[in-house]
Amino acid sequence: MRFLISLAWKNLSRYRRRTMITAGALAVGLVFFIFMDGWLQGAERESERNIIWYESGSAKVTTVEYLEDLKSMPLKHAIDDPAAVEGVLEGTGVTSTRRTVFAGEIFHGEGSLYAKVIALDPGTDENIYKLSETVTQGRYLQPGDQGVLLGDWLAQDLGVEVGEEIIIRTRTRFGAFQTLDLIVTGVLNSPNPVINKGTAFIPLSLADEALEMDGAVTELTLYFPEWQNPEDKIRIIEDRLSSIPGITVQSWKDLAQDFLMIAQAKSAGSSILLVLVFIIAAVGISNTMLMAVYERVREIGMMRAMGMKDGAIRATFLFEAGGIGLLGAAIGVGLGVIVNWLMVTRGINMMALMGRMDIGYRVTGIFYGAWHPQAIVGGFVFGVIAAMLFSIIPSSRALKMEITDCLRYE
């Protein structure tokens, strides 16, 4: 065995340039895979955090009817007695805040845009959401404000600035038209593009009066620390809520299905990259091993004439390919880790590259990578094994030849 490994190593050194080119191709594939995987992982984790912190909290309590017609945000299906809901949730370790969400057309100057308007309680909203930390112009909402806080992109699209007036046209809970004249108190630029591009925030007290809510709200946002695996907590909350008819709870995972589907699709994309690495290994290693085998047909013939077992000859090529795989995988993983480290610490400013383009992730500005050790180790092992597998066909081809043909081979 030692002899075979030593022979394989010497043969690799003999064709140093070819070995390096093949290993290099494998390495490039692995670097790309580790980079993409780390990037997607980072974007996914950051998106999840940004959904929790800016969009949905850990879960939302709504009426069943409101949930069924969530897209049109019907105020008529609001929770009439939010205090009762808060009462049953006491002692579950859940933090909650009241919100009323409705659709509105926002007018400024001669233009208008449709947006989602969220009426929030400035006193308790900050216990769950981090909107106040993202205000870049003006200030955050205060109770009793006749003002509105706008997402950065929405403010830009409306051409409105802090201190200017806008009008929101909507319908009350009972379907009557209502207009709200509001002063822009602040503009926020959150890491979640969904918030930036089409959301306006007003104080809950203002909405309560203007929309004839009479204390009703469309949702209670909940936060609990176990948000990453919310299933158990949701079961406890469901159990408590069963005493109030017509009320339901949805975890952030249920509410962010669009994102999860995109994340899943992109994770499939990452698997396609692994297949690409596999193809690079297949073409590169097969070709290199084919050349190595055909250059050494007489050598193979001599070894067989001397009584060397076919398995041992095959093993020599297997070790050679394994050596290329090991070299390529080591270089690929080494460089991949460096690239990933840069991605984790510095990231890529996608805004600079793509502007406001929405790519499905709840991330704006700088996209950071994340460490994904399974992918790095898996990529390494996969590179070596794939390389070894692809040496089997060429060496088997040479071993099928008659010994005398091998010895005569020119």
Partner 1 sequence: MIKVENVTKIYKVGQTAVHALRGVTLNIEEGEFLSIAGPSGSGKTTLLNLIGCLDKASSGEIYISEEAVSSKNKKELALLRRQRLGFVFQSFNLIPVLSAYENVSFALSLLGINGTQIRERTYGILEEVGLKGLEKRLPGELSGGQQQRVAVARALIKEPDMVLADEPTANLDSDTGREILDLMVALNQKHGTTFVFSTHDRMVMDYAHRLILLHDGQVTADERRA
Which positions lie near partner 1, rule CB under 8 A?
3, 7, 10-11, 13-14, 298-299, 301-302, 304-309, 402-404, 407
- Under 8 Å CB-to-CB from 174, ≥6 apart: which residues? 76, 212
DSSP E strand boundaries for 121-268: 135-138, 147-151, 165-171, 177-188, 199-203, 219-223, 247-251
Dmax over CA atoms of the chain, in Å, equals: 98
Nearer to partner 1, 11 or 221 (CB): 11
Q: Quick count: other Cβ atoms within 10 Å of Cβ 267?
A: 13
> Minimum distance between the CB of residue 356 and partner 1, rounded to whole angstroms?
59
> Minimum distance between the CB of residue 3 and partner 1, rounded to whole angstroms?
5
> Minimum distance between the CB of residue 21 and partner 1, rounded to whole angstroms?
19
Nearer to partner 1, 192 or 391 (CB): 391
> Minimum distance between the CB of residue 302 and partner 1, rounded to whole angstroms?
4
- Under 8 Å CB-to-CB from 126, ≥6 apart: which residues? 132
Nearer to partner 1, 7 or 234 (CB): 7
Residue 357 has φ and ψ, to the nearest 5°, of: -60, 130
> Minimum distance between the CB of residue 7 and partner 1, rounded to whole angstroms?
7
Partners of residue 183 on adjacent β-strands? 147, 165
Nearer to partner 1, 83 or 306 (CB): 306
Nearer to partner 1, 88 or 403 (CB): 403
Angle at 230 between CA 228 and CA 232, to 5 degrees: 135
Nearer to partner 1, 108 or 304 (CB): 304
d(CA 30, CA 209) in angstroms, rounded, equals: 59
d(CA 113, CA 4) in angstroms, rounded, equals: 73
CB 185 within 8 A of CB 149: yes
Half-sphere exposure of 29 (CA within 13 A, CB side): 30
CB 94 within 8 A of CB 128: no
Structure tokens of 327? 């070299």
Nearer to partner 1, 208 or 299 (CB): 299
d(CA 167, CA 113) in angstroms, rounded, equals: 11
Nearer to partner 1, 263 or 324 (CB): 324
Report the helix count and the strand count for the chain, using DSSP H and E: 16, 12
Strands 199-203 and 111-120: parallel
> Minimum distance between the CB of residue 285 and partner 1, rounded to whole angstroms?
20
> Minimum distance between the CB of residue 292 and partner 1, rounded to whole angstroms?
12
> Minimum distance between the CB of residue 299 and partner 1, rounded to whole angstroms?
6
> Minimum distance between the CB of residue 2 and partner 1, rounded to whole angstroms?
9
Structure tokens of 347? 């990231």
Nearer to partner 1, 71 or 400 (CB): 400
The residue among 8, 13, 83 whose CA lies nearest residue 247 is: 83
